[in-house]
Structure 1
Amino acid sequence: MFTHLKNIDTAFKHIKVFSIVLIGANIFITCFVCYINSKTVARAQQTVHILYNGKVLEALASDRKSNLPVELRDHIKTFHEDFFNLSPDDQAIQANISKALYLADESAKHQYDNLKESGYFNNLISANISQRIKVDSTSLEGNQFPYSFTCYATEKLIRASSTVTRKLVTRGEVRDMQQQTDNNPHGFLIQHWQVLTNRDTTIKH
């Protein structure tokens, strides 16, 4: 009788151990499946499908942080092109300056007001001068907002009789507005902007 009870007790212990192992295995498999599922969902969220010429192309979306220097430089470049690419037409000048002022704070508006008061834009119109800029390079400083930058560019004033080339250097900071709009697609704002150098280098007749 005691042997029979001992066998029952041993069998119960075996069943108990087997049950614990089975429950542990189920928990492990469930956790593993959840992990694989979360990784799959994350990869799927990074996949972007683009319709191009009637064909569906697959692209990977990148983290904004990894692309931040590119976005900052593009914002700075766009601002300078809008501010300095000017045609001898008052409406065209106003349109470009308006786009530029969405990308910067009152420091850019102050620079614009100074140029306007000095008659700079009127001189462009009266002399039929087209002004064009090419951003050569932009250096970024720091590792957090606001990022300091220095922009190096070549500016050309083109008229029928001559072309004046200027060296332009500006400096400022860029802060994150935490909001993107149609007028400011990157969601950055240039602040404390100032022109360090804007001098003639060559005159071609």
Structure 2
Amino acid sequence: MFSQFRNIDTAFKHIKRFSIFLIIANAITICFTIYNNNRIIDKAYQKIFVLYNGKVLEAVASDRKSNLPVELRDHVKTFHHYFFDLSPDDKAIRASINKSLYLADESAKKQYDNLRESGYYNNLISANISQEITPDSIKLDVNVYPYQFTCYATQKLRRSSGTTLRKLLTQGFIDDIKNQTDDNPHGFLIRNWEILENRDLPPKL
């Protein structure tokens, strides 16, 4: 009779262990299923289908963080393009400068006012000088907010008598204002912008 009780007790322990194992296995299976389903859903949301010339093309979406350095550099390039790519025409200069001022704070307006008061733009117009800028490199620090940048660029001033190259070095900070508009498509704003260096380069021999 006691052996029967022992057998029942042993069988109960086995059933108890098996039940615990089954519960744990079910919990692991459920967690894996939920994780896998979420991963599949995320992948599905990252797929974008674009209709182009009657053909369905698949594109892959990515979060903004992975694209952040590219967007920041493009914002800096666009600002410098509007601020420094100038033709010898007063209306064209003002239109281009106004576009640049949408991308920066009052520090850019201050630099513009200083150049205007010094007669810089009048000299471009009177001497019929067209000015172009080529950004050589843009150094970014995306680990600290606001994002600091340093822009190294070359200016090319074309006049009837020849072409002058000028070295340009600027720096500033970029804020994410989280408000994209037609005038500011990236939704960034350059702050505390300053021109560190702007000097003529020696002519190439």
The question of whether the paired residues in 2 share the 8 Å contact of 1:163 and 1:203 is answered with no
Instruction: Determine the structure 2 residue equivalent to 1:9.
Output: none
Shift of 1:15: 9.6
Check if 1:109 corresponds to 2:114.
no
Map 1:112-191; keep pairs closer than 5 Å. 112-141=112-141, 143-191=143-191
Secondary structure at the residue paired with 1:148?
strand
Instruction: Determine the structure 2 residue equivalent to 1:49.
Output: 49
For 1:126-185, what per-residue CA distance to the aligned partner results, in whole angstroms no more than 9, with x for missing partners? Answer: 222110000000112361211221110000111122111100011111121122222112
Secondary structure at the residue paired with 2:94?
helix
Query: Structure 2 length as normaliser, TM-score?
Result: 0.82
Residue 171 of structure 1 aligns with an amino acid whose one-letter code is Q
CA distance in 2, matches of 1:145, 1:25: 45
Instruction: Determine the structure 2 residue equivalent to 1:86.
Output: 86
Shift of 1:22: 7.3
CA distance in 2, matches of 1:27, 1:117: 74
CA distance in 2, matches of 1:141, 1:22: 52
CA distance in 2, matches of 1:179, 1:18: 58
Residue 58 of structure 1 aligns with an amino acid whose one-letter code is E
Secondary structure at the residue paired with 1:154?
strand
Residue 170 of structure 2 aligns with an amino acid whose one-letter code is T
Residue 42 of structure 2 aligns with an amino acid whose one-letter code is A
Map 1:25-36; keep pairs closer than 5 Å. 29-36=29-36
Classify 1:33/1:156 alpha carbon distance in 2 versus 1 (closer, same or farther; 3 Å).
same
The question of whether the paired residues in 1 share the 8 Å contact of 2:69 and 2:142 is answered with no
CA distance in 1, matches of 2:141, 2:21: 57
Instruction: Determine the structure 1 residue equivalent to 2:7.
Output: none
The question of whether the paired residues in 1 share the 8 Å contact of 2:155 and 2:167 is answered with yes
The question of whether the paired residues in 2 share the 8 Å contact of 1:162 and 1:203 is answered with no
CA distance in 2, matches of 1:165, 1:17: 82
Shift of 1:25: 6.4
Shift of 1:63: 2.4
Residue 145 of structure 2 aligns with an amino acid whose one-letter code is F
The question of whether the paired residues in 1 share the 8 Å contact of 2:146 and 2:175 is answered with yes
Secondary structure at the residue paired with 2:171?
strand
Residue 126 of structure 2 aligns with an amino acid whose one-letter code is S
The question of whether the paired residues in 2 share the 8 Å contact of 1:136 and 1:152 is answered with yes
The alignment's C-alpha RMSD in Å is 2.9
CA distance in 1, matches of 2:171, 2:23: 64
The question of whether the paired residues in 2 share the 8 Å contact of 1:75 and 1:188 is answered with yes
| Alignment gaps of 5+ in structure 2 | 1-11
Instruction: Determine the structure 1 residue equivalent to 2:196.
Output: 196
Residue 113 of structure 2 aligns with an amino acid whose one-letter code is D
Instruction: Determine the structure 2 residue equivalent to 1:77.
Output: 77
Identity of aligned residues (%): 65
Classify 1:155/1:25 alpha carbon distance in 2 versus 1 (closer, same or farther; 3 Å).
same
Residue 151 of structure 2 aligns with an amino acid whose one-letter code is C
